[in-house]
């Protein structure tokens, strides 16, 4: 197993254990709601965003126990957005992370409420993380709330763009909001918790922007080159929905070349950072070469 794959497995174990502690299988309140949240949380996601929190944090010397709560919070808010995006009135999807979507399994009302609860629990988790000082918590909550607002904006733009001809700028606008914002926050959060210097923070923000773009280009490529089975979610959806994607405007080979160039950019930025950034370079490489 490569070092990066090893790292992702380690993050999955850490984050899932913490999520299991935050939202245990047994507890007060209606079990349906709890089961619906856990159904979507523990579906074998890649944990890319929590991995970014932990990788950036470790890069600048933060201990895991300072990072894991925020990593879990980011996964909760990501999962809430998947649950709501999959709803019949939104993208109307039946399959996610290789299993039925939350509303297929638990009904629409419970799925909406499970998403609502996961969003609020992510803020509670950070607000009550007593290992972090209150200034850090407020800074993280402010950043996460801004990212979460952008995710909603991106989803609304995405819905409105369906079947429309939109400009490349329009497509970027959707991605920067819908997926880029939370990826950027995840990287920044690791740096904030590690109390990185202003200079390094700027570099990390630049790196995260490239990573968000790389994530989107490879996501678009996977949608047209992989099977539903391999992805664990419906393949070919972008074309079916008439969405403007990178392979559509650049061709498949062109999009692959573009991904390579974005990766090179990302790695070049890392070289300017005064720390061992091998882990972060590995994550960029993972995105470039991922098959699901």
What DSSP assignment string belongs to 112-180?
Answer: HHHHHHHHHHHHHHHHT-TTS-HHHHHHHHHHHHHHHHHHHHHHHHHHHHTTS---HHHHHHHHIIIII
Cβ atoms of 80 and 119 within 8 Å: the answer is: yes
Q: Is 152 in the site for its own copies (CB under 8 A)?
A: yes
Overall residue count recorded for the chain in this entry: 292
Q: Is 280 exposed, middle or buried (0-12, 13-18, 19+ CB in 10 A)?
A: buried
Query: Which residue stretch of 53-61, 138-146, 203-211, 268-276 sits at the interface with its own copies (rule: CB under 8 A)?
Result: 138-146
Which residue of 35, 145, 226, 234 would you call a contact of its own copies, by CB under 8 A? Answer: 145
Q: Which residue's entry shows tokens 């609020």? A: 120
The window from 6-14, 48-56, 119-127, 200-208 that contacts its own copies (CB under 8 A) reads: 119-127
Return the residue of 17, 25, 63, 109 that touches its own copies, per CB under 8 A.
Answer: 109
Pairing outcome for strands 99-100 and 95-96: antiparallel
> In the window 23-42, what residues touch its own copies (CB under 8 A)?
29-30, 32-33
Site string for its own copies, 170-189 (x = CB under 8 A): --------------------
Binding part of the chain for its own copies, among 104-112, 180-188, 189-197, 214-222 by CB under 8 A, reads: 104-112
Binding of residue 137 to its own copies (CB under 8 A): yes
Asked if 87 is part of the footprint of its own copies (rule: CB under 8 A), the reply reads yes
Residue in 124, 226, 234, 249 binding its own copies, rule: CB under 8 A: 124
């Amino acid at each position: 197993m490569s070092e990066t794959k090893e790292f992702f497995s380690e993050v999955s174990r850490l984050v899932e254990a913490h999520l299991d502690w935050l939202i245990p299988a047994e507890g007060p309140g209606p079990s349906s709601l709890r089961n619906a949240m856990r159904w979507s949380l523990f579906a074998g996601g890649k944990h890319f965003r929590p991995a970014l929190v932990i990788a950036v944090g470790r890069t600048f010397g933060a201990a895991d126990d300072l990072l894991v709560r925020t990593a879990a919070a980011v996964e909760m808010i990501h999962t809430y957005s998947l649950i709501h995006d999959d709803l019949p009135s939104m993208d109307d999807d039946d399959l996610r992370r290789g299993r039925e979507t939350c509303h297929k399994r638990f009904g629409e009302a419970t799925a909406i409420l499970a998403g609502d609860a996961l969003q609020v629990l992510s803020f509670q988790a950070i607000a009550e993380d007593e290992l972090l000082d209150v200034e850090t918590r407020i800074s993280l909550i402010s950043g996460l709330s801004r990212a979460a607002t952008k995710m909603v904006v991106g989803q609304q733009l995405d819905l409105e763009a369906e079947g429309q001809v939109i400009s490349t700028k329009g497509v970027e606008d959707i991605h920067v909001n819908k997926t880029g914002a939370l990826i950027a926050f995840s990287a920044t959060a690791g740096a904030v918790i590690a109390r990185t210097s202003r200079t390094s923070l700027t570099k990390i923000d630049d790196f995260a922007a490239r990573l968000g773009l790389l994530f989107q280009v490879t996501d678009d490529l996977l949608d047209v080159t992989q099977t539903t089975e391999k992805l664990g979610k419906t393949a070919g959806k972008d074309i079916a929905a008439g969405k403007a994607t990178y392979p559509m405007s650049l061709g498949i080979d062109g999009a692959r070349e573009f991904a390579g160039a974005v990766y090179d950019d990302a790695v070049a930025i890392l070289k300017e950072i005064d720390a061992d950034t091998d882990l972060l370079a590995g994550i960029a490489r993972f995105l470039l070469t991922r098959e699901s």
